[in-house]
Chains A and B, each alone.
Chain A
Amino acid sequence: MSTAVAQTLDVKGLSCPLPIVKTAQAVRNLASGDVIEVLATDPGAVPDFDAWCRTTGNRLVEQTEEAGVYRFLIQKR
């Protein structure tokens, strides 16, 4: 089953806490169940997104890294 992405947010080059802040703002405009794809280069984004998803109840569907780019798939609760 593929996860259709409702929005892609490119925060490559931005450092903590901007990746998570911009994601939170974008998620506010999504419908429940929508998936957002976030692309970041800041390694700090990994624990930030993990903590944020746990605290907000949004689901971290997938998290991968390739050639220094972190890709997060987050589903809005």
Chain B
Amino acid sequence: MPAQVVVVGGGVGGTLTANLLSRDLGREVRVTVVDPTGMHAYQPGFLYVALGQASGRWLSRDERELLRGDVDLVVDAAESIDRSAGAVRLESGASLPYDYLVLAPGARLVPEQVPGMSNGDGGPGAHHFYSLDGALRLREAIRRFRGGRVLVGIAGIPYKCPPAPIEFVLLLEEHLRRRGLREKAEITFLSPLNRAFTVEPASKLVQPIMERRGIALETFFNVETVDPSAGTVTSLEGETAEYDLLVLVPPHRGQRAVEESGLGDAGGWLPTDRSTLEVEGCERVFAMGDATNLPISKSGSTAHFEAPVVASRISSMIRGTEPKSSYGGRVMCFLETGDRKATVLRFDYEHPPAPPAPSAIWHTAKWMFNRLYWVTVPQGRIPERAA
């Protein structure tokens, strides 16, 4: 009787884990991926869509095409996890029993938690590029933009892809410059911290670029509320700023199924061991990617490097051997700085990032990754290697 592994979520983490388990164990395992849409989105692409640099078309593919043939796919939403029964309850009413459970459901956006931040419907409230429809609306708002004050800020922590808001403001500045609108725009970046970006050496690279390009920096500005009628945004720290075009990173929470199951913390995040990726207090349940409570990057790269660890540990448990693989905190993220240059952040728990000066090489590398993603990452064709 093969072991039953249920993977909740068909994003990069879930897809890769499922494929690695199937490849490693063959008939010894039955893997089922459950995903609400059955479509796999390349989320790093939303930023480019918002700036008119990419079409929504290459951002999404059938999850079925990315999974190995012997992995089952159930297109349904997980409603809750019944740990005593060892089963995932689905919205349709069906139930998926598991011997091992991988929770990779990602994070959900909750812009409604910011008073005045409309749900990205293109009204006078705030825009975002954290979903395809949000990115498309923002794209149209940028197309219509003829001048004024542009504010880019963060309305919730934690959020996916720490570099994204900095990348957005730098790429937007370049975009307006190329359209001949730069003189008419006043651009300000509202940082939650006392510098532009959390990783200090990267901030040191990026701040002079912002200064040269006339992008103002407001520090310690954690967006709390938006007043669309007044065109203002107010921070936790008590400051107010005015805007004509407002782009915010929306607040994020863990998925409802996690909250329904009583497994999540105050933000709905799963308490996870930083090395074994087991969910605390749960036997044979693993968490990965955006859904964990780990104070590490919520990025595709994290899930990409966590997946082999989760798959290897489950394989060992199924075979009855001692799990040896552990996650060392490895992440690799690009940071685009505009004008066809980028830097790269590579780090793990033992080695902090030492980003190089922005160059064309890393911008090319990022775009190659954008294009090769579909035929490499989900299938596990990029092998694991030491940082």
What residues of chain A lie closer than 8 Å to B372, measured between beta carbons?
48, 51-52, 55
Docked complex Cα distance between A24 and B368 (Å): 9
Docked complex Cα distance between A21 and B368 (Å): 8
Our pick among A21, A47, A50, A54 for the contact of B365 (Cβ within 8 Å) is: A21
Q: Could you tell me if A16 and B375 are in contact, using CB atoms closer than 8 angstroms? A: no
Q: Is the interface of B mostly helix, strand, loop or mixed?
A: helix
Closest approach, in angstroms, between the C-beta of A68 and any C-beta of chain B?
Answer: 14
Our pick among A18, A51, A54, A55 for the contact of B361 (Cβ within 8 Å) is: A18
B144 within 8 A of A: no
Inter-chain residue pair count (beta carbon < 8 A): 41
**CB-nearest residue of chain A relative to B334?**
A17
What residues of chain A lie closer than 8 Å to B382, measured between beta carbons?
16, 44, 47-48
| Chain A residues within 8 Å of B, Cβ to Cβ | 15-18, 20-22, 24-25, 42-44, 47-48, 50-52, 54-55
Would A51 and B369 be within 8 Å (CB), given that A15-B385, A16-B385, A44-B385 are in contact?
A: no
B364 within 8 A of A: yes
Q: Could you tell me if A43 and B381 are in contact, using CB atoms closer than 8 angstroms? A: no
Q: Could you tell me if A51 and B381 are in contact, using CB atoms closer than 8 angstroms? A: yes
**CB-nearest residue of chain B relative to A56?**
B371
**CB-nearest residue of chain A relative to B386?**
A15
Could you tell me which residues of chain B, from 323 to 379, have a CB within 8 Å of some CB in chain A? 361, 364-365, 368-369, 371-372, 375-376
What residues of chain A lie closer than 8 Å to B180, measured between beta carbons?
none
Docked complex Cα distance between A59 and B148 (Å): 50
Q: Could you tell me if A55 and B381 are in contact, using CB atoms closer than 8 angstroms? A: no
B383 within 8 A of A: yes
Q: Could you tell me if A55 and B365 are in contact, using CB atoms closer than 8 angstroms? A: no
Q: Can you list 26 A-B contacts (CB < 8 A)?
A: A16-B382, A16-B385, A17-B365, A17-B368, A21-B364, A21-B365, A22-B361, A24-B364, A24-B368, A42-B385, A43-B383, A43-B385, A44-B382, A44-B385, A47-B381, A47-B382, A48-B372, A48-B376, A51-B372, A51-B375, A51-B381, A52-B368, A52-B372, A54-B375, A55-B371, A55-B375
Docked complex Cα distance between A24 and B370 (Å): 14
What residues of chain A lie closer than 8 Å to B361, measured between beta carbons?
18, 21-22
**CB-nearest residue of chain A relative to B363?**
A21
What residues of chain B lie closer than 8 Å to A47, measured between beta carbons?
376, 381-383
Docked complex Cα distance between A16 and B385 (Å): 10
Would A25 and B364 be within 8 Å (CB), given that A16-B382, A47-B382 are in contact?
A: yes
Docked complex Cα distance between A34 and B62 (Å): 36
What residues of chain B lie closer than 8 Å to A54, measured between beta carbons?
375
Please give 8 more A-B residue pairs, beta carbons under 8 A apart, in addition to A20-B368, A47-B376, A52-B372: A17-B365, A18-B365, A21-B361, A25-B364, A42-B385, A55-B371, A55-B372, A55-B375
